[in-house]
Amino acid sequence: MSRSHYNAARHVPGLVRWQRSVLEALADRADAEGRTWPRLADVAARVGCSEVSVRRAVQALEAAGLVQVERRHRADGSRASNVYTVFPGGLPGGLDA
C-alpha cells in the first residue's frame, strides 16, 4: 500500500463522493509507483457501489488526469486485468493519458 498516494487522494478537490471513494480505494492498494490492478468488483464492494458506478468513476478520474488505465490483453486476445496508475496530483508533466 502506498500511504503517500492514499493521503494525497484524500485531498484532491472537485471530486464527487463516488469518484473520491474509488480514487482512495485505488490509491490504498497502489504500490510505491502508484500502480494497482484490483478487480472492479472488489473496488465496488469496498466503496459500497455497483461495478458500473466504479467504471464511471474511473472514466471520470482518467479524464481528469488522476488515473491512467493500461488495458491489457492475453496472447490469445482475451482481456486481462487492467493496471491503474494513480496520480493524485495529476499526470506528471501534464501529459495526456
Q: What is the pLDDT of residues 3-25, one digit of tens each?
A: 778 878 888 888 999 999 999 99
Question: Does residue 84 lie in a domain region?
Answer: yes
Give 38's contacts (C-beta < 8 A, 6+ positions apart): 25, 26, 29, 84
Our count of domains for the chain comes to 1
Model pLDDT, residue 96: 40
Question: Does residue 70 lie in a domain region?
Answer: yes
Is residue 92 pLDDT above 60, yes or no?
no
Domain holding 46, by residue range, is 3-88
SS3 (DSSP) at 86: strand
Joined together, the cell numbers standing for residue 13 give 478537490
Which CATH number do you get for residue 48? Answer: 1.10.10.10
Is residue 90 pLDDT above 50, yes or no?
yes
- pLDDT-based confidence at residue 94 (cuts at 50, 70, 90): very low
Which segment of 1-15, 18-32, 42-56, 65-79 scores lowest on mean pLDDT? 1-15
